[in-house]
Amino acid sequence: MKRKAVSLLLCLAFLVCLVPVSAARAEGFDMGTIRERYAILVNANDPTTALYGLQKNADERCSTGSTIKILTCMLAIESGRLDEVATVSEKAVNFNKKYNSLMGLEQGQTWTIRDLLYGLMLPSGNDAAIVIAEHLSGSTSAFAKLMNEKAAELGMLNSHFTTVHGKDDSGKNYSTARDMAVLTAWALQNDTFRQIVGTTTYTCSDTTGTVTISLQNTNRLLIDAQSDGTYEPISCLFPDAIGVKTGDTNLAGKCFVAAASRGGVTLIAVLLGGTLDDEDYLARSLDMRPKDKDPYNAQRFEDAISLFTYGFKQMTQFITVQDLIDKGMPVTFPAQVQNYAATDPNGGNITVSARLNPSQELQLMEPSMALINQDVTALAQTKIGTLVAPINTGDVVGTVDYVVGDSVLFSSNLYADRDVKEGVLSVEPTVEAGGTEASPATSLIGGASTLSGEPVKQSSLGRVLGTVALVVLIVALVAVIVFYVVVRVRREKRRKARAAARRKKRLQQERIARQRAMEQDRL
């Protein structure tokens, strides 16, 4: 009986193993919540490996829709012909305008390849894709051949492309979620590509300047969908999003290749085949009102956010300032003070200290932690100016930033740990050992600071000399004023004395004249 029970259990276990699992639970994240049929999350540094096992049917061939325009865009960028002018052909504008995403070109117009790339990637213009391909390769089929060659070069072994835009009902245009992750990781290494796919809105004109088109990105992680006045579309903004491309065809379903960066880490989420398994949507999609259709339009963006949020959280480590100090992060630094007193016991050398909060908690991504573990002493970047005595305990003498990569984790002022008295200029001769009289000292005690930066303290001697100069100037000004007043007073006294002498002389002359007149009258 016991043998029969064991045999039954083994058979049951074997049968369970035969049951396919389409959505595996990957380290705490249930991929069954991802509504797209094909999906994968990768680190851009390792695009062939599902991050934390987050994948679903990642190697099954499927239609990619317009997400293949990532490859079209990159081949155009690599051509180095972005400033060349292309003419819009009849084929480009007559290509299935119904249910077709377009830049809005007209036959005969001339546009630069650069502007056409924005029309290709933001509104997903199939007309722009055809113009680009025809200009760069002569035909769309010749350009598709280049696409397949590049895919093989990148190791996209399960991909094949027959169109330059991804709109295809034949099934001959296919890839996989993993291959699309490889393609996107390669594309994101190009600055021009990152700039284009990260742009929310773009306005461009044809080469004549007579036609202007305003373009808006279809990536709702970057820009909110606009309300039609009857309802507000679901907001899917994600602050760390940097691109990349949407897609939507009958064969591919709703697709999205997304990228987000945080703390030096770039993650790529590939979501293909959205709504293909939703019978209700497939039956009603053509007659749905925008309000009813929006949840289906938003789900690929919401699923990308779920993957990014989980991935970044798993890659985040929490650490306190005290943990960093325990690892050897410096909080004290040596500094040299100029003009220190001859009696200073340490020759003007002091220690300056940062005042940090040991309990402060930081959230750091794995690359940042790797840099810290590699050399924790490299975090501190000090800014200390030329220090001149006197220095008092607790004086702020500089600052320190604790930096990982391009990010400042935290900062602090730097404080002096002791007093440093100032030295003086010696003008009296000193007596050396043996009674020999030495020459008078002519320089301050202390040399130049070993740390760079602007002075944070004015020299005490400079302050004294400045004060003396000011006093001398005031005294000189007062002396000039006094001299001027004295001169004026003396000049006035001399003028009055001369006037009095003239008046006295005149009176004497008048008296003599009167006396002479009286004497003549008597005669």
Catalytic residues: 66, 69, 124
Beta carbons within 8 Å of 102's beta carbon, 6+ residues apart: 123, 125, 126, 127
3-state secondary structure 185-235: HHHCCCHHHHHHHCCCEEEEECCCCCCEEEEECCCCCCCCCCCCCCCCCCC
Q: Which of 284, 296, 308, 306 is nearest to 43 (CA)?
A: 308
Helix segments in 106-208, DSSP class H: 113-121, 126-137, 140-154, 177-187, 191-197
Q: Which of 148, 146, 78, 72 is nearest to 116 (CA)?
A: 72
Give every strand in the sheet of 380-384, ordered side by side. Answer: 380-384, 396-404, 407-416, 349-354, 332-338, 387-388
**Location of structure tokens 């006037």:** 499
Distance between CA atoms of residues 322 and 325, nearest Å = 5
Beta carbons within 8 Å of 191's beta carbon, 6+ residues apart: none
User: What b/e sequence results for 303-339 when a residue is b if at least 16 CB atoms lie within 10 Å of its CB, and e otherwise?
Assistant: bbbbbbebbbeebbeebebeebeeeebbbebebbbbb
**Location of structure tokens 């100037």:** 473
* Amino acid, res. 471: V
Torsion of CA 191, 196, 200, 204, to 10 degrees: 130
Phi, psi angle pair for 344, to nearest 5°: -60, 125
**Location of structure tokens 């309990």:** 359
Phi, psi angle pair for 336, to nearest 5°: -115, 130
445 secondary structure, DSSP code: S
